[in-house]
Amino acid sequence: MRKRYPIDIIHHSKQTVFLPDEIPNCKAISKIAFGNKVVEAAVAPHPKGRKAIIMSNDVQKSLSLPELSIPLHIFTADDTLFIGPLIGILTSGFTPYPLRPIGERSMFFAKLLSVNKLVGALPFVFGEEHIDWESGLIEGYFFIDSGWKTMKVPFPNVVYDRLPNRKTERKSELQRLKERMQSDYLIPWYNPGFFSKLDIFERLGQDGRALDYLPETHPLTSFSIIEEMLLKYGNVYIKPSNGSLGLGIHQILFDRQTGDYYCRYRDREGTNKLTKFNHLEALMKKLFNGRRLAHMLVQQGISLLRNDGRLVDFRVHTNKDGNGEWQIAAIAAKIAGSGSVTTHVNNGGTVRSLDELFKQEEERQQYESKLKEAALILSSILEQTIDGIVGELGFDFGIDKDGNVWLFEANSKPGRSIFKHPKMKNFDLLSRKLSLSFGVFLAEKAITSPEEIFK
């Protein structure tokens, strides 16, 4: 169990730090670090045995350590005591408005930062424009006493990547930022990158443990692939390989008796449509004329569980915890809107807790156990096959009428719409807490066992 200590600032001493005598090798410590800043100081056990870190204000200012009433973790390496950790959360889309500095996402980040006392860390939000490379300081956004405040702090111990989309992530200045912090400052960086659906399925397909969860999926290279899969399964889904929020998804159904083709989709005005065609070529020309099909994939359709005639799938969030182990953070059911091809909330879908969906306890436990097992197995596989440090994942699963679990998508930066449901509030808190607890774990590893992080 890691220990946390309150930090008290005194004004009557110079370059002095008193430590609890229970800290290992306390007498050998001659430097204090916070984030990327290191300061030499006269360090000694507290003469009265106080279980706190007592620091003169000149050391505090040299470290750019905010004076906040949050007990923090301490880690030691050689002659240095590290206080923190300082967790930088990188994003974009900042505004000039003090009450909503990150626009519509301000509330999400406020809630994320509010778990600081629970995890014993100092998290802050920043963008590329807030970094002063010459001074080694960042003007970070902190959420304190129910309000936003900016403070200059050192470069963080770890960076949690919360860039909002692929377009932002591809910007050259953000790619340089990431490379520079990792290579020049050896700052661990977790949750990088957005997934390509097809790439994820190919990676998972190389591990036998995943095969039972993977529906047949192929890049859309010709109409013949669609024809073959329709004959095999009766219906298929056509999806953008890099899509999100259910946008651009089409379900194609084949009626073997009449030879007709049906397509269910959401049009540009946001209306759910079901259209009939006599030929597949006519369907493709009408709905996909001019689109770059090279960026689409075709996936096996599955006869899913239904609720009052509407399709049901499941979102499972997994997070690494403060010990670097995968945990199930949340499970919720999503029920499709009337006529919708997906269960996304923006397509009219609704969120239900598992006990609302499954009235019989035995049935709920059975499905919950299957979903948890699948999510933990797939999290472990993805962690081993993806470049970078993965700390959280969101899975969209289906369960067919025989009780088999199928993976539809894996998300590196999962949306949080399920947490708006009243019964999901505790899971919302848990997922936020785990996100930063894993940052504490990474910070400790980078200090005490860097060879495990920077392989």
Q: Write down all domains in the chain, each with its CATH number in brackets.
A: 4-84 (no CATH), 86-169 (no CATH), 188-215+302-455 (3.30.470.20), 224-295 (no CATH)
Give the whole-number percent of the chain exceeding pLDDT 90: 72
pLDDT band of 341, cuts 50, 70, 90? low
pLDDT grade, residue 1 (50/70/90)?
low
CB-based burial, 125-138: b 16+ in 10 Å, e otherwise: bbbbebbeeeeebb
Q: Are strands 4-5 and 72-77 parallel, antiparallel or unpaired?
A: antiparallel
Q: pLDDT by residue (tens digit) across 242-299? A: 766 556 788 999 998 999 999 988 877 777 888 999 998 888 888 777 566 778 889 9
Backbone angles phi, psi at 113, to 5 degrees: -70, -25
- pTM for the complete prediction? 0.92
Residue 149: band (very low, low, confident or very high) from pLDDT cuts 50, 70, 90 = very high
What stretches of 159-297 show up as alpha helix (H) in DSSP? 166-169, 172-183, 197-204, 223-233, 280-288
**Tens-digit pLDDT profile for residues 295-321:** 888 999 998 898 888 889 999 999 999
Give percent of the chain above pLDDT 70. Answer: 95
Tell me the average pLDDT of the chain. 91
Q: Is the pLDDT of residue 198 over 90?
A: no
Residue 306 CA, distance from chain mean position: 29
Q: What is the pLDDT of residues 75-134, one digit of tens each?
A: 999 899 999 999 999 999 999 999 999 999 999 999 999 999 999 999 999 999 999 999
Long-range (24+ apart) CB contacts under 8 A made by 172-175 are 173/128, 174/90, 174/92, 174/128
- Give me the pLDDT at residue 410, please: 93
Report d(CA 135, CA 154) in Å as an integer. Answer: 9
